Structure formats: C-alpha cells, structure tokens
A and B are shown apart, each in its own frame.
Chain A
Amino acid sequence: MPEVRVRFYATFRPIVGGKHADVAVTEGASAGDLLDAIVTRWPELHEHLIRPDGGLSKRANLFVDGRAVRFLPEGLKTPLRESQEIDCFPAVAGG
C-alpha cells in the first residue's frame, strides 16, 4: 500500500489543488501516519488539521469508510487497509 487515495472537500480543495490526491505512506500505516503525510505534503493544512498540542483538530474530520477516526476504537492508530474510502473535511455546518 504505497499510496492512499484521499478525497478532499470544501476549503481544503483549493489548498490541495483538486478533489483528491494519492498520498504516499509506508506499509502498515495508520490513520495518524496518513495525517502526518498529508500535512507534510500540504503544510497549509497543518493549522486546520492539527491541534496545537498535536493530534487531530476538533475542527476537522478524517473519515475511514464514513466513520470519523476520532470515534473508531483505535483512533489515529487505526491501521489502514486496501480499498478503504478516505475523506478529509474541515468542520462544516450550515443547514
């Protein structure tokens, strides 16, 4: 699994330059590893995705197969697998 396809939305798209991107990770990478790879590749996303004290910002969502990683039992340590759907959103609201 050298690359993971990540779909981006809303205000993250202009930063990434598209709707999705293939992000390089190491074999056996976790959701947290992917998060690190994303902010390394797009430093502008760091302030949106990462808390000042590290970890995923509460104002952003990283979904694995439709579930926010913060609510998965292993959180950011959740191992990624082939063919999972990964979505990355800023916190959004409206109504």
Chain B
Amino acid sequence: MRLSNFGQDIAHVDLASGRVEMRPAPEDWTRKYIGARGLGVRYVLEAGAEVEPLGPDNLLCFMNGPLTGSEASMSGRWACVTKSPLTGTVTDSHQGGWSGARLRWAGFDGLVFEGHSETPVYAFIEDGRIELRDASDAWGKGIHETVAFYQERYGEKNLAVNAIGQAGERLNRFAVWVNEDDRAFGRGGTGAVGGAKKLKAIVIRAALKKSEVDDRDAWKAVRRDALDVIRDEVNITSPKKGGLSVYGTNVLMNVTNRIGALGTRNSQTTSFGDRAEAISGERVQETILVGDPTCHACPVACKKEVEVTEGPWKGLRMESVEYEPAWSFGSNCENDDVNSIAKLIDQSNDLGMDPIELGNVLSMYMEATERGWLPSGAGGLAWGDTAAMVAMADAIGLREGEGDLLAEGTTLAATKLGHPEIAMAVKGQAVPAYDPRGLKGMGLGYATSNRGACHLRAYVAAAELGVAPGEGEPLDPLEWKGKGELVKIFQDLHAFSDSLDFCKFSAFAEDAGHYAAQYSTAMGVEFTADDVMTAGERIYNLERLYNNRAGFGAGSDTLPARFTEEPSTQPGSEGHVSELSSMLAEYYAARGWEDGVVPASKLRELEIV
C-alpha cells in the first residue's frame, strides 16, 4: 500500500449494467483537491449540479483520503459525497470505524456508484476485486440485522459492512449509511441515494496492510510528532485523561447548558437548567458506560458503549451516546431520560436515520402539536413523551402514518404544515447542538456551511469554549466581531483534514503544520502549512461553486429567524441574538465572495477553473 499512489485505484461502478471500471483520478484533481471530501466533490461536480438527487445521474461516491488506513493517528475516516436529497446542495459526510481503512487495504482508493440498479444489490470487495451481488435477501432488513447477515455469510474477521436500513430503502430524506461499529455517514441523506440506486450494502474483506513510503524514518517521525501533541493535550484528547477520551463528545452537554447555548424545546430557549446533568457525559460515565471502543489508529477512543440497566429498554447495549443526539433527543425535545436517548440513537442506527435531523423533526412536530398546527386526524407528539418518540421514530423510518410526512425532513415537513418558521434548519438541513445566540461563531458556521446547517464545517466552538488553536487565546462566544475571519480559517482547515481524511478531533491538538508534515512525507511532495490552508480554501470554494450552480445564490446563507430575532432568556446568553448580517459581511469580505456567490476571479485565483 504505497501512500503516494493514492488516486490510482478508483472503481466506477455502473449499477444499471453491473460494469466495473478502474480509472485513476486525474492527477490534477488529487493535487488540487487532495482526496476524500475534496476529490469526491470534484467527481460530483463533474456529473452536473442540476442532477436530481434521487435520480440515476447523481453519483454516490465513497472516497478515501490519501492517509485513510495509514498508521497516522486518527486516520480511520472516509467520506461519502453526493448531491443531497435533503438540501439539494453537494454534501459530504464522514464515517469512523474501520471501513475506509479496509477499503484501502483491499486495494481501492474510492468507489463511484453511477446509475440505478433494477433489483437490490450489494458490492462485495476483496483483494482488488469488486462485484455486485444480489441483495434481495437483505432488502427490508434493518442495519443491525443486515450486518449480522453478511457477517454470517463471510465471517466477522477483517470484514466491514456498510448498509442502509428501511429508511434508506424508503427514501427517507435523512437516511444514512451505518457500519458494523454503528458509525454513520450521518448527514445529508446519503442513505436515500443508496436506496434510490437499490444499493443495500458495501461489504469489504481485507486484513491490515502496512503503508509504504519513500522515507520510513521521516514518516515515523512526523507521526510521532502528531501523536505527542494528541497525548499532551491533557484536557481533551489525551488518552484516558482528556475529557473527550474519558466522557466522549457528550462532555459538552453541561458547558453549553451553563453558557446558554443549549437549544431546548425546539430552540425556544437556550438552556435545560439543572435537567441537563441527567443527559450529560458525566452522568453516562457514572451510570451506564460499559466500554470505550475505538476507530482505526485512534488513541483517543471517544466512543462510549453503554448498557441500559432499567426501564422499558433494559438490556439495550449500544454505542454511543454522543453529544449531538443527546441534545437532539434530549433537551431539544424536553427529555431528560438518558435511557430513552440511548434507545432512540439505537433506532436511528438500525433503521438508518440521521439522529440530528430526527431529533429536530420530532421537536418541530412537538412545537406544532403544542400550537395546534397539525392536520386534522393527526395525533401529534407531546414534549418529552419518550414512548411516543420511540414509536414515532419507527413510523418515520418506515414512512408509516404521520411518519411519512416527517420522513421528508424538518424543513419540508414544517413547510407542509404551513409553518416553515418552526424548522430550525439551514438550506434544508436541521441545526446541531450549539445555539447561535450563545455561540455566535457557530451560527455563522451554520449559515455558511456548504452542506446546510453543520457544526463540523467550522468548529469554532472550540475557540469559543477555550480550545483555541495553537498559541491563540479563547474567544468570547458572545462577541460577533472577528468571527467572519475565524469561521473562514476553521472551514478551510477542516476542508483539508476532511480530505486527508483525518478525524476532526485531531484539530484539538494538531495544527496545519502537523497535517502538512504528514501529507508531504506520505506523498513525497513539498507541502507546507500555507499549502494546507490554500487547498482547504480551494475545496471550500469548489463546493460553493457547485451550490451556486445548483441554485443557491445570493441570500442563501441564512439562519432561522428564531436565532436572529428572539433573544435568549437564559443565563450566559441572556438578551443575545445572532448578529448574522454583520458577521456575514465580515465573512464575505474574508472569502472574496459577492453575497455568497464565488466570483470568477476567485475561481481563477484558486486554480479551480
């Protein structure tokens, strides 16, 4: 597995004919767009921004980065890139676990699925071969059963199984792909694209392969440097010491709650008060945590396996109670029962749905119920009614009853109810767990994300919560000035790390210099920290070009009016709204964009055209 050969082994799979062709990615593309997210977006752009997301012309790309599956720390990720049926934008989503690594070890850098199959199929991949095989006997199964089905057929050893569930089969617009470790390509509805293509699963069998590089000593040294800073970051990434390692992502619940940045009751308020403790990472660690599984080459082990020990879901063992779904099913639905949250996450992983979108669609429907905005005959949903939430999640995954409307996603469902203003979403994708009134930079990040509301495009919450990059100082979460430039920097840095493809959490310890050193040594090319930022900026502009062509022009970067017009009433952020228009002006100036549109001069400057 020679790392510098990245891009040579891209499989193009025509689902209509069953034909598989190996075609290397153009050298110009891998040089400019690196891999994973950037390279996937370049392929999807080639298919045209006007394609129908669920039509046969949309591409479904599974892309490794040049360092996926290597010995570099936190390199166990790969990207799914397509045109989103939820937003109509280009979307990329990233998955942890071992699947991307196994794809690399099986001899592939990426998979590009084209067309539609007439009947259900799965792709079986092993030792440089890829075959489409009949999946009729798996169609209709949930993801957990599908994984077990293929594990029984092929054995568990060295096997990665990615599958869609019933939600993907039924074209739920926020359907996901999930693997045997319950890690998901979680956002943007990539599972529905799989369902439309009748692609049920991707099964990969491959044992670990060591990387080959020109300078082995240098490769070892740059990896050691990166690992050292991960270990030295004692409060966050340090194994068994840092908060992320000990408590997982849900270590965030209490802090966002205390600063008035935890959306509650469909973001009608910004704090869950003393009830947040009951759904926090600290509480999970005290009560139901049973294991700390990890992804390929990751020393942090942020995944937290739990076992429910009481109540209606006693005996449920699952991973993992992450911060995002603990919020979306928790405070946002006025629910402080952590066991029900574990159940709802497990349902999401089995039926195959994005738990952020699912939690938002439930909270939106709760608000619609409370306000009497339901269609006649609809039963609705009460705040914090966990049994009803679980039943409704099934209905949404299966598109049954009221669930059929809610399977359209928060924005479309609220619009059909006649009240789009209660959809907490941007460009059709629901917001994550950071209220923009209490964390101003995150609001700008949501509005300008190229895949719809997203916390991970520009994770400026790090700087706003005290994890400033490098020698930088923490930034005031309530100050809007300066956030335009900051969001651009974070977006560009993360566009690069998503293209390597490194876990986003590496950025809590590593900086652009660490990324550059590892990329340059692995690929045998000169590459600096400045090159990291330029490549990231190029990728971000490429995505924006796609969206501009797809109809997202001036005025598309918005936030729900709730965040810009209804002041927070909670301690920490009391009296604050998001000053979005001021931040946008700063941001567009930093980007060199004209009201969200990339000018031709910028495209030329970045060598995109």
Contact = CB atoms under 8 A, between A and B. Distances in A.
Contacts of B277: 19
Nearest to A89: B255
Nearest to A47: B234
Interface in A67-81: 67-68, 70-71
A58 B258 contact: no
Interface in B414-444: 432
A95 interface: yes
Contacts of B248: 94
A67 B459 contact: no
B124 interface: no
A9 to B, nearest CB: 5
B241 A11 contact: yes
Contacts, number: 118
A90 B477 CA distance: 16
Interface of B: 234-236, 241-244, 246-252, 254-255, 258-260, 277, 281-282, 302, 322-324, 432, 455-456, 459, 461-462, 465-468, 473-474, 476-479, 504-505, 508, 570-574
Contact of A10 (B247, B456, B574): B247
7 contacts: A9-B282, A10-B282, A61-B474, A85-B571, A90-B235, A93-B244, A95-B432
Contact of A94 (B468, B505, B572): B505
Contacts of A71: 476, 478-479
Please tell me the size bucket of the interface on A: 20 to 34
A93 B467 contact: yes
Given A91-B467, A95-B504, A11 B258 contact: no
Given A13-B282, A63-B258, A94-B302, A58 B235 contact: no
Contacts of A67: 259, 478, 572
A93 B434 CA distance: 12
Given A60-B235, A93-B236, 11 more contacts: A10-B246, A10-B247, A58-B466, A66-B260, A67-B572, A87-B254, A89-B258, A89-B466, A90-B243, A92-B243, A94-B250
A65 B259 CA distance: 8
Given A11-B235, A61-B465, A87-B258, A93 B474 contact: no
A70 B474 contact: yes
Contacts of A85: 258, 571
A41 interface: no
Report which residue of A13, A63, A93 has the largest number of chain B beta carbons within 10 angstroms of its beta carbon: A93
B474 A58 contact: yes
Given A11-B241, A89-B255, A90-B243, A58 B473 contact: yes
B236 to A, nearest CB: 6
Contacts of B250: 94
A46 interface: no
B255 A48 contact: no
B465 A93 contact: yes
A53 B191 CA distance: 52
Contacts of B258: 63, 66, 85, 87, 89
B235 A94 contact: no
B588 to A, nearest CB: 25
B466 A59 contact: yes
Given A9-B255, A11-B235, A89-B255, A66 B249 contact: no
A94 B325 CA distance: 13
**Could you say which of A11, A13, A58, A89 has the most chain B C-beta atoms within 10 Å of its C-beta?**
A11
Nearest to B245: A11
